[in-house]
Chain A
Amino acid sequence: MSTDNVDLARDRAKVALRSLGLVALAGVIATVWLGLFVTPPDEFMGNLVRLLYVHPPMAWVAFLAFGVASLASVLYLWPRTRAEHFDRMAGASAEVGLVFTGLTLVSGSIWGRPTWGAWWVWDPLLTTTALLFVLYLGYLALRRVPGEFHVRARRSAIAALIAFVDVPVVYFSVEWWRSLHQAPTVLNPTTHKTYVHGSMAWTLLLGFVSFTLVYIWLVAHRYRLAKLHDLEDSEGLEAALVERRAEASVG
């Protein structure tokens, strides 16, 4: 590919990412407006239902992010598809997923205080979600442990797959154990019914789509940042080698 084509592709990617960011922002603004001012209060929860237009999308994006991180880790571990960009993608997606998991816990806690009368309860869903947060925090810490690139990437990929085991446990915890947390309302796995309708359902759906777009935008930026850091590291190493060779030739 010629330099002109590379520049053209880079410009197009930049425009696409900027457009994606604007669409995601518009979607989030629309979700907030519909969630706070248009949709009616719930029969039982009153205005607190408005928090549920943003809390489940946070959890969904966290699951999606960890799923992508796991898939990228598998592709890195598989010898035929092993490539540096899969390791970068796993790291980027896990970091964004960690942010969304944190927001899931905080928004759930804010909802739980007036609903259950406590900021935190050791409910199976909450506990396994907190465990998920700690597992991926550990994964990101492991990624920062110095070492040769492929050794570090391989151990990080294995850690990502171990951490992902907790994701289905979180999702099915409301089914497996007696839980204070309500069962899924959009698609209930037991009754196979939907318990949200009308403008409430559309607002929730818009929330899912908008925050998924936000996730894609954030991961794209985090991936680019990781790539730039790798480039900086390789340039720094090259400069150090040149300096060392110069010292050796003088000596």
Chain B
Amino acid sequence: MNGYVEAGYIVILGSLSTYAAALTARERAARLRLGQLAKPAAPKPELELAVSPSVGDTVQNSADAPGNETEQKGPEAAS
């Protein structure tokens, strides 16, 4: 082969790679400026579920809770 063939391939592939890299870099920079990449990760819903239905909440807030029933009916049963 001669140098012309290699030069042609290098020019084409080099230019397209440079253009593609520039586009993706500019896109990333624009996303950073808009805050689309800097968002903190959202908390996972499983973790919230694991914490929220606590035993204390059920006893304090719900009149129908089995524990409350027992406590309310306790004195009546005794009398």
Contact = CB atoms under 8 A, between A and B. Distances in A.
Determine which residue in B2, B8, B16, B31 has the highest number of CB atoms from chain A within 10 A of its CB, and name it: B8
Interface string A104-120: 00110011011000000
Contact of B5 (A48, A218, A231): A48
Interface residues of B, number: 22
Interface string B21-64: 00110110011011000000000000000000000000000000
A51 B6 CA distance: 9
Given A47-B1, A47-B2, A114-B2, A229 B15 contact: no
Contacts of B2: 47-48, 114
B27 A228 contact: yes
Interface residues of A, number: 32
Interface in B1-19: 1-2, 4-5, 7-9, 11-13, 15-16, 19
A47 B4 CA distance: 9
A221 B11 contact: no
B30 A232 contact: yes
Interface of B: 1-2, 4-5, 7-9, 11-13, 15-16, 19-20, 23-24, 26-27, 30-31, 33-34
18 contacts: A28-B13, A35-B9, A47-B1, A48-B2, A50-B1, A51-B4, A54-B9, A99-B15, A102-B15, A110-B7, A110-B8, A113-B4, A218-B23, A221-B20, A225-B30, A229-B30, A231-B34, A232-B34
